[in-house]
């Protein structure tokens, strides 16, 4: 992998990740952009005294790009007469600071990850080599962001589909560098601490062992990864992907796990697109890496894993977070986890 770091016209960082070592990336961003405020003054973190969590206030995001025509996509490579966020005429993987960040300056950092220069493909349509390069980019960004004093936790994720709220059709994901430990992760760390105190064992190890022993909810197994629908799945179709050797974050994966990951992950994404049968539009989903936060007690107890889920509960119907879910945080799942796992096994690639 070759990494090339440069800057955009307004001072934001842009990083190219190429599979070939001899690629030269020297195209300049010629757009007349105003410099981005260095202090991150457009983003503010506010603390909720009742719930104890934090909320990012970022009103400038109201002006972000919204469903542009394909020939005006800001994530496609630049061409003559049409300049984009990517100055070069082509790329393998590109990462840049978000122009409309939820977190910036002392409040953290937001980045956009473009998985490919091909506007019309999805992550599931990438080759294994392309998916492996994305994994390298996620890992490298985690390592770099871990060095920033204002970043406590790194979250790599992809939103796919208009139903999820995606406003740009180009295949891409995002990376958030939070200045705090997120509520979801805090919950996991508390549960892991309590489990260790009660049993003397690691919670993540026991969850994976339980699913493997039960077997009903296992969707896909590799030598180094296992994917299963969790016992208490929140979403209609939800899969958790764990490395068999527990590690706290992407940086700690060994070479064998990195090599196998594209095979397992691409198969999962392709199965997701087949859940609801032929002729159905692509399945909307959220794919989220859960990594241990930095410089916090209990970090060594955390288990890196990826959570993949869709808000579509059946053909033509979505799972809405209504009264119980949004008002009280209590999920009601319409699809039994065992039935979801069975369906995901049925749609395996031939």
* 129-135, long-range: CB < 8 A, 24+ apart: 129/19, 129/262, 130/92, 130/93, 131/261, 131/262, 131/265, 131/266, 132/258, 132/259, 132/261, 132/262, 133/1, 133/17, 133/19, 133/92, 133/93, 134/93, 135/250, 135/258, 135/261, 135/262
Sheet of 225-228: strand order equals 2-7, 13-18, 93-97, 109-114, 172-178, 153-160, 285-290, 305-310, 237-243, 225-228, 218-221
**Residue 150 and residue 44: Cα distance in Å, rounded?**
13
Our answer to whether residue 172 is catalytic in this structure is: yes
Active-site choice (172, 224, 290, 305): 172
User: Could you list the active site residues?
Assistant: 172
């Amino acid at each position: 992998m070759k990494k090339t770091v440069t800057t955009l016209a307004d001072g934001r960082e842009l990083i190219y990740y190429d599979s070939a070592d001899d690629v030269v990336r020297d195209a300049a961003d010629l757009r007349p952009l105003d410099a981005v405020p260095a202090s991150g003054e457009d983003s503010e973190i506010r603390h909720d005294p009742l719930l104890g969590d934090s909320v990012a206030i970022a009103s400038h995001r109201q002006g972000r790009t919204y469903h542009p025509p394909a020939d005006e996509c800001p994530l496609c490579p630049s061409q003559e007469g049409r300049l984009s966020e990517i100055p070069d005429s082509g790329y393998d993987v590109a990462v840049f600071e978000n122009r409309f960040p939820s977190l910036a300056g002392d409040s953290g950092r937001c980045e956009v990850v473009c998985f490919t220069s091909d506007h019309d493909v999805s992550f599931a349509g990438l080759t294994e080599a392309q998916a492996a390069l994305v994994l390298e980019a996620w890992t490298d960004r985690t390592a770099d962001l871990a060095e920033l004093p204002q970043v406590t936790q790194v979250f790599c994720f992809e939103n796919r589909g208009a139903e999820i709220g995606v406003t740009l059709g180009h295949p891409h994901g995002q990376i958030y560098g939070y200045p705090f430990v997120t509520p979801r992760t805090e919950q996991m760390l508390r549960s892991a601490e309590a489990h260790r105190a009660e049993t003397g064992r690691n919670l993540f190890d026991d969850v994976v062992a339980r699913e493997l022993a039960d077997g009903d909810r296992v969707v896909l197994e590799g030598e180094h990864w296992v994917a299963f629908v969790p016992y208490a799945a929140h979403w209609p179709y939800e899969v958790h992907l764990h490395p068999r050797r527990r590690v706290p974050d992407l940086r700690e994966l060994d070479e064998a796990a990195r090599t196998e990951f594209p095979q397992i992950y691409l198969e999962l994404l392709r199965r997701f697109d087949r859940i609801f049968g032929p002729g159905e539009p692509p399945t909307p989903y959220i794919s989220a890496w859960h990594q241990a936060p930095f410089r916090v007690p209990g970090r060594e107890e955390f288990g890196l894993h990826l959570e993949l889920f869709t808000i579509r509960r059946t053909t033509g119907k979505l799972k809405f977070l209504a009264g119980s879910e949004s008002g009280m945080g209590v999920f009601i799942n319409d699809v039994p986890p065992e039935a979801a796992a069975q369906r995901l096994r049925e749609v395996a690639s031939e």
